[in-house]
């Protein structure tokens, strides 16, 4: 089996998923949860009467609100925090809808979340740089013409690929299905990145070993053999993680459903990108360098 040979197809498949996602990301962005926007979120249990709550909220002069049904009841949101109006709404809902009970009230200031988001983005950039440097150092012994920085760069491209796949899909889900991203989503993205690099490095490590051993005629063969040798372990591991995640998705708590979904997508993408993007990219790069030399 020569997976590397069909590398153009693997690149195209990646682009088919990434391009719409990135477009959606640019056009609509992500749908941020209240943790990012700030405002008030009230959860009512024991009722599904969305229109009645909407009616009551309008009667209480609350503007710019949304009511969504959740697994356990209703979630009421508004971006403006007004304690008096909230209290009024709470008592109105509890009085006029039998069985309705306020289970949770959140008032969130966006500034705190901005800090966390900013930290997360900064940390991701920092982590990426550290990863490139780490790989460049650990792979410094790869024989010429390969260069250890190419390995670092390829790992980062695979990492970006996976982050974009998850971000893009959630942007589309957010636009069409009102799926929101919350702080756990940041955690998910970071995990996906970690997993992606993990996967990529394990394969790169085998490529390094086979290159150093030097028993293969050219770079492409060495990469092909390495990928094939590592295929069972990569697929086995990803399969195991997938099994755990799938079980979590179907049987786990509702609060982590989208977190787990992000991980499911990310782990799949991570496996795909480490086998079918990162390693072929090394080959494309070497071939490109060789063809330029010839000219």
Q: Minimum distance between the CB of residue 56 and another protein, rounded to whole angstroms?
A: 21
Residue selected from 263, 265, 276, 278 as contacting another protein according to rule CB under 8 A: 263
Number of CB atoms found within 10 A of residue 244's CB? 12
Measured from the CB atom, the residue of 24 and 267 that comes closer to another protein is: 267
Is 57 within 8 Å of 91 (Cβ atoms)?
Answer: no
Residue selected from 109, 143, 176, 218 as contacting another protein according to rule CB under 8 A: 109
According to DSSP, residue 4 is labeled: G
Please name which of 129, 127, 151 lies closest in space to residue 140, comparing C-alpha atoms. 151
Asked if 215 is part of the footprint of another protein (rule: CB under 8 A), the reply reads no
Measured from the CB atom, the residue of 24 and 269 that comes closer to another protein is: 269
User: CA 32 to CA 186: how far, in whole Å?
Assistant: 11
Residue selected from 16, 80, 116, 290 as contacting another protein according to rule CB under 8 A: 116
Helix H or strand E segment including 202: helix 183-213
Beta strands in the chain (DSSP E): 39-45, 65-69, 73-78, 101-108
Asked if 131 is part of the footprint of another protein (rule: CB under 8 A), the reply reads yes
Q: How many residues bind another protein (CB under 8 A)?
A: 63
Contact positions with another protein (CB under 8 A) in 5-64: none
Measured from the CB atom, the residue of 56 and 260 that comes closer to another protein is: 260
Output the 3-class SS for 119-164.
Answer: HHHHHHHHHHHHHHHHHHHHCCCCCCCCCHHHHHHHHHHHHHHHHH
User: CA 81 to CA 74: how far, in whole Å?
Assistant: 18
Asked if 134 is part of the footprint of another protein (rule: CB under 8 A), the reply reads yes
Asked if 84 is part of the footprint of another protein (rule: CB under 8 A), the reply reads no
Residue selected from 197, 265, 278, 281 as contacting another protein according to rule CB under 8 A: 197
Residue 254, Cβ density class (10 Å: 0-12 exposed, 13-18 middle, ≥19 buried): exposed
Stretch that binds another protein, among 8-16, 25-33, 220-228, 232-240 (CB under 8 A): 232-240
Q: Please state, in angstroms and as integers, the Cα–Cα distance from residue 22 to each residue in 18, 97, 164, 265, following that order.
A: 6, 43, 7, 16
Residue selected from 259, 268, 272, 285 as contacting another protein according to rule CB under 8 A: 259
Measured from the CB atom, the residue of 195 and 219 that comes closer to another protein is: 195
Residue selected from 48, 52, 194, 225 as contacting another protein according to rule CB under 8 A: 194
Measured from the CB atom, the residue of 159 and 165 that comes closer to another protein is: 159
Residue selected from 146, 173, 186, 222 as contacting another protein according to rule CB under 8 A: 186
The pair of three-digit structure tokens given for residue 133, joined into one six-digit string: 């440097």
The pair of three-digit structure tokens given for residue 183, joined into one six-digit string: 């702080």
Q: Minimum distance between the CB of residue 122 and another protein, rounded to whole angstroms?
A: 8
Helix H or strand E segment including 234: helix 219-251
**Residue numbers of the site for another protein (CB under 8 A)?**
72, 103-109, 111-112, 114-116, 119-120, 122-123, 126-127, 130-131, 134-135, 138, 183-184, 186-187, 190-191, 193-194, 197-199, 201-202, 205-206, 209, 229, 232-233, 236-237, 239-241, 243-245, 247-248, 250-256, 259-260, 263
């Amino acid at each position: 089996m020569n997976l590397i040979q069909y590398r153009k197809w693997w690149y195209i498949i990646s682009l088919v998923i990434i391009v719409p996602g990135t477009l959606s990301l640019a056009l609509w962005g992500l749908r941020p949860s209240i943790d990012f926007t700030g405002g008030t979120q009230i959860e009512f249990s024991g009722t599904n009467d969305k229109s009645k709550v909407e009616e009551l909220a309008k009667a209480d002069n609350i503007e710019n609100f949304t009511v969504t049904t959740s697994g356990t009841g209703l979630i009421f949101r508004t971006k403006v925090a007004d304690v008096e109006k909230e209290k009024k709404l709470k008592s109105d809902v509890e009085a006029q809808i039998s069985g309705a009970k306020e289970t949770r009230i959140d008032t969130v200031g966006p500034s705190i979340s901005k800090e966390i988001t900013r930290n997360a983005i900064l940390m991701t950039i920092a982590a990426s740089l550290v990863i490139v440097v780490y790989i460049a150092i650990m792979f410094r012994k790869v024989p010429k013409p390969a260069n250890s920085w190419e390995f670092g760069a390829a790992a980062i491209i695979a990492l970006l690929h996976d982050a974009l796949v998850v971000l893009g899909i959630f942007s589309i889900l957010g636009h069409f299905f009102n799926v929101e991203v919350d702080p756990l989503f940041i955690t998910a993205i970071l995990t996906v990145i970690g997993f992606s690099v993990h996967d990529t490095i394990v394969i790169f490590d085998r490529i390094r070993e086979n290159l150093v051993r030097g028993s293969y005629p050219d770079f492409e063969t060495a990469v092909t053999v390495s990928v094939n040798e590592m295929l069972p372990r990569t697929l086995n591991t990803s399969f195991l993680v997938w099994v755990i995640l799938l079980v979590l998705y179907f049987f786990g708590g509702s609060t982590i459903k989208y977190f787990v979904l992000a991980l499911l997508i990310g782990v799949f993408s991570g496996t795909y990108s480490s086998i079918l993007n990162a390693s072929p990219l090394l080959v494309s790069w070497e071939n490109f360098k060789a063809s330029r030399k010839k000219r």
